[in-house]
Amino acid sequence: MNVSEQIGVSGRELGGLRAAAQKDSPDPRAAQGLPATIAAIAAAHRPSNKPFFARLASLPGNIARDPRMLGELYLAYQAAMHATRAAVYYLPHLDSPALRQRKLQIFVDDDGLANGDTHHYQLSRAFRNIGAICPLGDEDFGEPDELAPHLDSQTAAFVRLARTLYGRSLGPWCIVETMSVDWMRALADALAVHFPGMASEPYFADCFDQGVEERHALEAVAVTQLVLERRPEYLAVTIEDAKTMAEALDGVWAAMDAILTAAVERHGVDP
Ligand SMILES: [Fe+2]
């Protein structure tokens, strides 16, 4: 089954959307196809289909509990998440009072949790609770140029791209929010094989219980459609940036898979 079939959109319709996005005089109606286009990109890059998650779940227990490996996984994942959380503060085209309110709610969901908590702090606690040696402190996650030297090349590329592309169009925000519930469930499920308490860590449990990422996905696409109905000339860059961000995210999962391979080799077991 190809991507078009998976999301119930014909190849002709997808082709039409791309053509509408690329032609010189954009049609405001082209924004109507944005949800299907974003869904198609998400289906083509679905995180849970990447080998990393299944390999993490099937690791021998002693390797899965390796504090160094857990810390390396934490660093790559937190860096990628941090990059997107920081980058939403640079989103363009959302300057009207009503759109600022909707944007603010996204900020609050990440950085304005009860009692001064944040998704960043929830995630670092979740990994420390399973014994990870986290290579960086929470407040060491800052500018892309400061963070990149601590990262592998693919995760560093994602971090730099997030800052650049989130500030240019709303496409990267749409695709990341659309895919996030998939990778959060895949990561929670893989870690829970080795650490049953992971499923109840607030980073995962609060998000799943409240449907936060599903709401973000709908909101990001709806807000972007509103913008594109008024400014259809932004459609092409919106779709292009969404694709670029999805490809960069593939690189993060590949980098995390390489961390598993290195740990397996350190422990002297065939990968
Ligand atoms: Fe989100």
- Yes or no: say if 185 and 224 are a contact pair by the CB < 8 Å rule: no
**Distance from the alpha carbon of residue 213 to the mean position of ligand 1, in angstroms:** 5
Q: How confident is the model at residue 30 (pLDDT cuts 50, 70, 90)?
A: confident
Say if residue 151's pLDDT is above 90: yes
The answer to whether residues 227 and 93 touch, using CB atoms and an 8 Å cutoff, is yes
Domain boundaries, the chain: 3-266
Distance 132 CA to ligand 1 centre (A): 24
Ligand 1 geometric centre to CA of 48 (Å): 17
How far away, in angstroms, is 80 Cα from ligand 1 center? 13
Q: What is the mean pLDDT of residues 219-247?
A: 96
Ligand 1 midpoint to CA 227 (Å): 19
Where does the pLDDT of residue 81 fall: very low under 50, low under 70, confident under 90, or very high at 90 and above? very high
CA distances to 160, 162, 241 from 155, rounded to whole Å, are 9, 11, 17
pLDDT digits (tens, 9 = 90+) for 158-179: 999 999 999 999 999 999 999 9
Cα–ligand 1 centroid distance for 220 (angstroms): 9
Question: How far does the centroid of ligand 1 lie from the alpha carbon of residue 84, in Å?
Answer: 9
Alpha-carbon separation of residue 102 from 49, 95, 154 (angstroms)? 31, 10, 32
**180 touches 216 (CB < 8 A):** yes
At 136, which amino acid appears?
Answer: L
Cα 169 to chain centroid distance, Å, stands at 16
Ligand 1 center from residue 178 Cα (angstroms): 8
Ligand 1 mean position, distance from CA 5 (Å): 26
Distance (angstroms) between ligand 1 centre and the Cα of 180 equals 7
Distance from the CA of 58 to the center of ligand 1, in angstroms? 28
How many angstroms does the Cα of residue 25 sit away from the middle of ligand 1? 33
Residue 270 alpha carbon to ligand 1 centre in Å: 37
Ligand 1: centre distance to CA 6 (Å): 23
37 is written with which tokens? 């286009």
pLDDT digits (tens, 9 = 90+) for 37-49: 999 999 999 999 9
105-115: average pLDDT: 90
Q: Where are the alpha helices (DSSP H) in the chain?
A: 3-6, 11-22, 34-44, 51-57, 61-64, 67-87, 97-111, 119-129, 144-147, 153-166, 171-194, 202-210, 212-230, 235-266
> How far does residue 105's CA lie from ligand 1's centre (Å)?
10
CA of 73 to the centre of ligand 1 (A): 20
User: Which pLDDT belongs to residue 269?
Assistant: 57
Whole-number Å distance, alpha carbon 62 to ligand 1 midpoint, is 33
Q: What is the mean pLDDT of residues 24-34?
A: 76
On whether the CB atoms of residues 220 and 241 are closer than 8 A, the answer is: no
Q: Which fold has domain 3-266?
A: Heme Oxygenase; Chain A (1.20.910)
pTM over 0.75: yes
Q: What is the CA radius of gyration of the chain?
A: 19
Ligand 1 centroid distance, CA of 246 (Å): 15
Please tell me the distance between residue 198's alpha carbon and the centre of ligand 1 in angstroms: 19
